[in-house]
């Protein structure tokens, strides 16, 4: 007689026992560049001129070129990139900024930091990104901007959001913290609004542990971003004498120290060498997995908009059909998958009107967020590190989903 199949959670044999690809990763260039930084006398841009441009400047040029924008201002965190973007647009006290109700909490807290109020709106259930119609309906005379978040692996509907922003005279900020290299109709994430904000925190597709960048093609906005990120200073147009500061005190706008150190810039220059190839591998593996999961009646893939031709994967997300998995809650399904795979499998962020930080410090939400709440209870995610493996590991993930689906009544 065949032994009864058992979930790994209940002592059965796990589907996958091998290691998953390491994340974060670095290459030899990181070690070489960090060695040069440590041996030299300039560890950050506010250090003195030593005869060669700061690595931060080198990265700024490369990242702007990568994104297809004229300018890039590297910063210390993605949160700082968002904060600087909002502040550079002159948004603050008395203003409202429209934010999706499903995103990392920093999208909303970056707004509050400037004194403006984040207005949470619902998402499109097919992509989990901000619903342009909900954004349109939330506009008031106080609204100054919309923040579009490209969430997990899908881009927000940028054509519709640009139309809404144009109709109401609003700024459009892209929170591209998860979307390094994603493309909308031939344009890279970050280049489609007034400012694009990236995070290079350690989980993100390009990382220096902590880090970020704000990109724009608007010269005035760029100048303000630069002033905000380095205490009201700008790079001099010509190098100063050796040993003098390269930054000149300009002022005229409230600045902060949001600078990225040279060690971090070294890590980003190294990681950027691999980003296109890693994006290609992640997308190919994700497509393989999505095809392998198509036979499951319990699962629905994320359906990106047609113009989101190239996707960048921060997390692989898959939606769960209502009442699938024998009606078991999605956290129980995630725990079962995790035991089969030896990989953290989890739900989306909480809807922001439910987030403890938001509930304690922010305004009560003006709108109900039914699609965001539904998505939290009906979506399964795992980190892009797993998408850096080979096809057989994708088959293992699919097999784990199908096994848990078969045995869900035991959960
Ligand atoms: C990571 C992230 C941020 C914040 O970036 P930090 O570098 O952690 O400050 C903002 N928005 C989204 C959508 C993110 O994923």
Question: Residue 359 pLDDT > 80, yes or no?
Answer: no
Closest residue to atom 7 of ligand 1, CA basis: 78
Residue 287 is predicted with a pLDDT of 98
Q: What is the pLDDT of residues 165-212, one digit of tens each?
A: 999 999 999 999 999 999 999 999 999 999 999 999 999 999 999 999
What is the rounded distance in angstroms from the CA atom of residue 289 to the CA atom of residue 391? 8
**Residues β-bridged to residue 9:** none
H-run or E-run covering 332:
helix 330-341
Mean pLDDT computed over 114-135: 97
User: How far does the centroid of ligand 1 lie from the alpha carbon of residue 212, in Å?
Assistant: 9
User: What's the pLDDT band for 404 if we cut at 50, 70, 90?
Assistant: very high
H-run or E-run covering 184:
strand 183-184
Question: Residue 2 pLDDT > 90, yes or no?
Answer: no
Q: Does the CB atom of residue 285 touch ligand 1 within 6 A?
A: no
Residue 362 is predicted with a pLDDT of 64
Q: Does the CB atom of residue 212 touch ligand 1 within 6 A?
A: yes
Question: Residue 361 pLDDT > 90, yes or no?
Answer: no
Q: What is the pLDDT of residues 30-46, one digit of tens each?
A: 999 999 999 999 999 99
Question: Residue 379 pLDDT > 90, yes or no?
Answer: yes
Residue 358 is predicted with a pLDDT of 78
Q: Does the CB atom of residue 348 touch ligand 1 within 6 A?
A: no
What is the rounded distance in angstroms from the CA atom of residue 114 to the CA atom of residue 110? 7
**Does the predicted TM-score (pTM) go above 0.85?**
yes
Residue 167 corresponds to which tokens in the numbers above? 């109709």
Closest residue to atom 14 of ligand 1, CA basis: 177
Q: Does the CB atom of residue 76 touch ligand 1 within 6 A?
A: no
Average pLDDT, the chain: 96
Q: What is the pLDDT of residues 217-275, one digit of tens each?
A: 999 999 999 999 999 999 999 999 999 999 999 999 999 999 999 999 999 999 999 99
Question: Residue 360 pLDDT > 90, yes or no?
Answer: no
CA-based nearest residue to 40, from 30, 54, 26? 54
User: How far does the centroid of ligand 1 lie from the alpha carbon of residue 41, in Å?
Assistant: 31
User: How far does the centroid of ligand 1 lie from the alpha carbon of residue 36, in Å?
Assistant: 29
Q: Does the CB atom of residue 199 touch ligand 1 within 6 A?
A: yes
User: How far does the centroid of ligand 1 lie from the alpha carbon of residue 7, in Å?
Assistant: 35
Q: What is the DSSP string of 153-171?
A: T----HHHHHHHHHHHT-E
Q: What is the DSSP string of 225-292?
A: HHHHHBTTEEE-SS--STTSBSEEE--SS---B-PPBHHHHHHHHHHHHHHHHHHHHHHHHHHHHHHH
């Amino acid at each position: 007689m065949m032994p009864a199949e058992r979930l790994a959670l209940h002592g059965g044999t796990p589907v996958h026992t091998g290691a998953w690809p390491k994340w974060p990763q670095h290459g030899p260039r990181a070690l070489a560049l960090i060695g040069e930084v440590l041996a030299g006398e300039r560890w950050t841009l506010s250090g003195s001129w030593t005869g060669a441009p700061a690595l931060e400047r080198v990265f700024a040029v490369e990242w702007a070129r990568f994104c297809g924008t004229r300018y890039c201002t590297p910063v210390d965190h993605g949160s700082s990139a968002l904060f600087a973007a909002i502040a550079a647009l002159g948004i603050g006290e008395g203003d409202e900024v429209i934010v999706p109700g499903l995103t990392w909490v920093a999208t909303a807290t970056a707004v509050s930091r400037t004194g403006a109020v984040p207005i949470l709106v619902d998402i499109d259930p097919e992509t989990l990104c901000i619903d342009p119609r909900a954004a349109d309906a939330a506009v008031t005379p106080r609204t100054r901007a919309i923040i579009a978040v490209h969430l997990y692996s899908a881009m927000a509907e940028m054509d519709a959001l640009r139309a809404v922003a144009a109709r109401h005279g609003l700024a459009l900020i892209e929170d591209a913290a998860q979307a390094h290299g994603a493309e909308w109709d031939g344009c890279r994430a970050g280049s489609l609004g007034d400012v694009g904000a990236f995070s290079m925190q350690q989980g993100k597709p390009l990382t220096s542990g902590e880090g970020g960048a704000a990109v724009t093609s608007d010269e005035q906005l760029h100048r303000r971003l630069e002033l905000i990120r380095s205490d009201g200073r700008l790079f001099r147009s010509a190098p100063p004498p050796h040993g003098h500061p390269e930054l000149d005190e300009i002022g005229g706008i409230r600045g902060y120290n949001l600078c990225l150190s040279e060690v971090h810039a070294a890590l980003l220059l190294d990681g950027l060498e691999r980003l296109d190839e890693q994006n290609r591998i992640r997308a190919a593996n994700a497509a393989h997995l999505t095809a392998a999961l198509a036979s499951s009646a319990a699962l629905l893939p994320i359906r990106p908009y047609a113009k989101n031709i190239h996707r960048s994967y921060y997390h692989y997300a898959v939606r769960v059909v209502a009442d699938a998995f024998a009606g078991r809650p999605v956290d129980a399904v995630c725990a079962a998958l995790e035991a089969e795979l030896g990989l953290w499998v989890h739900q989306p962020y909480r809807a922001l009107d439910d987030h403890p930080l938001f509930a304690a410090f922010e305004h009560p939400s003006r709108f109900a967020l039914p699609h965001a709440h539904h998505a939290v209870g009906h979506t399964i995610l795992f980190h892009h590190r797993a998408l850096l493996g080979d096809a057989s590991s994708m088959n293992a993930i699919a097999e784990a989903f199908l096994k848990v689906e078969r045995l869900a009544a035991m959960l």
